[in-house]
Amino acid sequence: MVGIRTRLAITLVALVALTVAAIGVGVYAFVESSLRERMLADARQQADFNLSVLLPAEVPRPTDSTTFAASGLPEAFALRGDVDTIADFGDGNPYTPGRLLGGLNELSPELRAIVGNGELGFAWQTLQDEPVLVVGGRQGGPPDLYFVFSAAAVETALAQLRIGLLAAGLLAVLVALATAGLIARRILRPVDEAVLAARRIAAGDLTARVPEGGRDEFGRWAAEFNRMAGTLESTVGRLESAQQQNRRFVADVSHELRTPLTALVAEASLIEAGMDGLSPDGRRAAELLVADVRRLRTLVDELMEVSRFDADAERVSLEPVDLGRVVATVVAARLPTAAVALPARPVVVDTEPRRLDRILGNLVDNARDHAPGSPVEVSLTRTAAGAVIVVADRGPGVARDDLPHVFDRFYKADPSRTGGSSGLGLAIAAEHAALLGATLRARPRPGGGLIFALTLPVTQPLPGGEGADMAVRDDDRESQPAPGSVT
Amino acid sequence: MDAHILLVEDDPSIREVTALGLRAAGFTVSTAEDGVDGLERWRADRPDLLLLDVMLPRMDGLEVCRAIRHESTIPIVMLTARADTIDVVVGLESGADDYVRKPFEMPELVARVRAALRRRTGGLGPDDANGAEPAISLGDLDIDLAGRTVERDGRDIPLTRTEFDLLVELARHPGQVFTRDVLLDHVWGYDYLGDSRLVDVAVGRLRAKVEPDPSNPALVLTVRGAGYKAARPAA
């Protein structure tokens, strides 16, 4: 689809070019014919005079080129006007002035036939590479005289006219192009403004409007556009405030739950410590109570965590962290059976250990809960993209269509399995990852299972880490973390 | 163990069950239900440790904490409903030694209470036990390990137990870098991923008391990207 601008320009330029071409051709034809006619009339008159007055006056009439040359006729002819004469005596030895030598053979047979019939003939042609007008005739009998007039002046004038017309035509086309551009811009300015406004709205600025004012179709359209944008803005505003109320409600509810939950958790922990004295049924009930209180606690904790994200109340404070150490401690605390692969050299990045702990903890918990009994592998690698921590399980995995939803709140791959997880763990991990400037991705694992990859940006040179850092600042040989620090 | 704990908590259920759990763990417990009441109880009972809720009627936990800090170096553990940065940092800056997030399970709370009390009784390691090292110094500070006092030019500088232990931990090995994790382990008794803000806030409070110019520390130094260390004596 060609744009309006282009179509307008093409149309206007084509119109102008056609008009200019028609005028140019007309002017040229008129000028050319009048120039040639005038010259032809002069030439005819001169030829007539030469044939009917000067030639008969020469007695005896020259019969060959020698006598013709001696007669002084060529000079006499030239006296009336600048003309060269070719005289054909029919004997194969014509009179020809030096610079037109062999010129007789360049004359057209048609012209020579007309002249042979005793009529006056003419032809525009080139002779010895020069534009000329040849007028030929005879008086009674031979010789046939051809008067050669230089047409250089006419041709030069016509050439100049051609150049002039071409230049004028080009100028007209250029002016047409510029005019088309101007007109198009005038016409299309509202369209451009509408494009800008629509783009701003698409980018989320719902206050963008198109300037109104015109009474034309665009003006009406702009008013409608703005009405639509206004509706959109107020609707989105209502939705946002509703969502905000919703979030505040979640935050309030989880906060209100906190006090009774604190009592519950403390009470359950005391009951757990004193279960030995209970009857088997009472003991089982107590176990269930303790487990359910823990589940409730996790849920409320995670709801509060989520509502803090929604309130944008999160502040990140980065510090250098040895990733391998965090990976090892998280796995040791939550899933000691998992296989851990760490690089030989420590990988140290600027990040927040508490959030990293939450992310990895939730990933490992997720692998443990959704792929129970299957081998889980956790690895840390350093790539061009950053430091990558991978948690891979051999569980049932997730259908490809559901993969984009694993980080949704309360998403559960298998609704029939409720387990101990709240369905918020991966959503929370993703939120923390975003706060750390990291990316968290899930993908199916070849051969079954899921792979979660956390890519942390690396902002400082990797090799060395703490040790190298301190070696520069501290000449002490003991510049290692104090003994007993390895947990 | 027969330490006396004052628990200030406004919710009756939480107050009762917490007191129950602490008594079961062998502590003597007295309780108060708001800030003003808590302050009076503290004056009357002179407990060994204070468990202080942040949100309290009449006078909130932070104010109580600040008021007590003017007079005493008693270990104070805050009970906070929120782990928000502001809450925790403000709590620690008002003088608390440690905090426990609500909800908590009793064993967790008891462990934190014991860790805070251990500092008081000087569980600092083998060096203490034989008494071979009754006093050390850091710069112009004289640290009396047995008497748990710090003096500069003969003038006593009152430190809380946490601040004192932190100072001793660093001053024992001048020039050696301690990571936050190691300090959390050695001073606060956390064995895994405590909150490093505890260390930063305590270092800040310690500097405010012992550094001649706290904004330009000369005794307790930050090692960027690693942790903290005590300055080595000038050669």
Q: Which residues of chain A lie closer than 8 angstroms to B25, CB-CB?
A: none
Nearest Cβ partner for A482 among B21, B85, B176? B176
Summary mean pLDDT of chain A? 81
Q: How far apart are CA A359 and CA A327, in angstroms?
A: 11
3-state secondary structure of B133: coil
A428 backbone dihedrals φ, ψ, rounded to 5°: -65, -40
List % helix, strand, coil for chain A (3-state, nearest 5). Answer: 60, 15, 30
* E strand or H helix that includes residue A487: none
Residue B175 dihedral angles phi and psi, to the nearest 5°: 90, -20
B191 touches chain A (CB under 8 A): yes
Looking at residue A78, its amino acid is: A
Q: Is the ipTM of this complex over 0.90?
A: no
- Read off the pLDDT of residues B124-151 as tens digits, 9 standing for 90 and up: 444 444 455 677 877 787 887 777 778 8
Q: Which amino acid is at A449?
A: G
Whether residue A297 is predicted with pLDDT greater than 90 in this model: the reply is no
Angstroms from B155 CA to nearest CA on chain A: 32
Q: Give, to the nearest 10 degrees, the angle between helix A425-435 and helix A280-310.
A: 30
Q: Which helix (H) or strand (E) holds B103?
A: none
C-alpha A77: how far from chain center = 76
Set of chain A residues whose Cβ sits within 8 Å of the Cβ of B230: none
**Is the previous residue joined to B12 through a cis bond, with omega within 30 degrees of 0?**
no
Question: Which pTM does this prediction carry?
Answer: 0.57
Return contacts of A273-281, CB within 8 angstroms, 24+ apart.
Answer: A273/B24, A273/B106, A273/B107
CB contact under 8 A, A261 and B103: yes
Give the pLDDT mean for B153-163: 81
CA distance B118 to B187: 10
Which has the higher per-residue pLDDT, A135 or A311? A135
Query: Is residue A483 predicted with pLDDT exceeding 50?
Result: no
Q: What pLDDT does residue B199 have?
A: 84
Using CB atoms and an 8 Å cut-off, which of residues 142-171 of chain B contact chain A?
A: none
Q: Which residue in the block uniquely carries the two structure tokens 């509060």?
A: A304
B106 touches chain A (CB under 8 A): yes
| Lowest mean pLDDT across A79-88, A475-484, B188-197 | A475-484
Q: pLDDT confidence of A278, banded at 50, 70, 90?
A: confident
> Within its chain, how far is the Cα of A150 from the centroid?
62
H-assigned helices in A274-334: 280-310, 323-334
Higher pLDDT residue, B31 or A409? B31
Structure tokens at A469: 């850092």
Mean pLDDT of B111-131: 63
C-alpha–C-alpha distance, residues A62 and A69, integer Å: 9
pLDDT of residue B49: 92
For A437-461, what is the mean pLDDT? Answer: 82
The phi, psi pair for B9, rounded to 5°, reads -155, 135
pLDDT tens, residue by residue, A2-59: 677 788 888 888 888 899 899 999 999 999 999 999 999 988 888 888 888 888 877 7
Helical packing angle, A217-273 and B106-121, nearest 10°:
70
Please state the rounded mean pLDDT for residues B81-94.
71
Q: For B22-32, what is each residue's pLDDT tens digit?
A: 999 899 999 99
Picking from A266, A319, A487, the nearest residue to B18 by CB comes out as A266
Upstream peptide bond of B174 is cis (omega within 30 degrees of 0): no
> CB B103 to CB A320 under 8 A?
no
- Taking each helix axis from N to C terminus, what angle separates B61-69 and B85-93, rounded to the nearest 10 degrees? 20
Contact B127/A at CB under 8 A: no
Tell me the pLDDT tens digit for each residue of A164-220: 999 998 998 899 889 888 888 887 787 788 888 888 888 888 888 888 777 777 788
Contacts of A333 in chain B (CB under 8 A): 192
The whole-number pLDDT of residue A210 equals: 83
Asked if the Cβ–Cβ distance from B177 to A469 is below 8 Å, we say no
Please state, as a whole number, how many other Cβ atoms lie within 10 Å of the Cβ of residue A387.
Answer: 23
- Report the alpha-carbon angle A191-A197-A202, nearest 5: 125
Mean pLDDT across A448-459: 84
Q: Which residue has the tokens 């939450």?
A: A358
Among residues 59-98 of chain B, which lie with CB inside 8 Å of chain A? 81, 84-85
User: Which whole number is the average pLDDT over A351-358?
Assistant: 85
Contact across the interface for B226 and A320, Cβ inside 8 Å: yes
Specify the long-range contacts of residues B119-128, CB closer than 8 Å, at least 24 apart.
B119/B75, B119/B161, B119/B162, B119/B164, B119/B165, B119/B187, B120/B48, B120/B49, B120/B75, B120/B161, B122/B148, B124/B165, B124/B168, B124/B169, B127/B172
Backbone angles phi, psi at A52, to 5 degrees: -90, -20
Arithmetic mean of pLDDT over chain B? 81
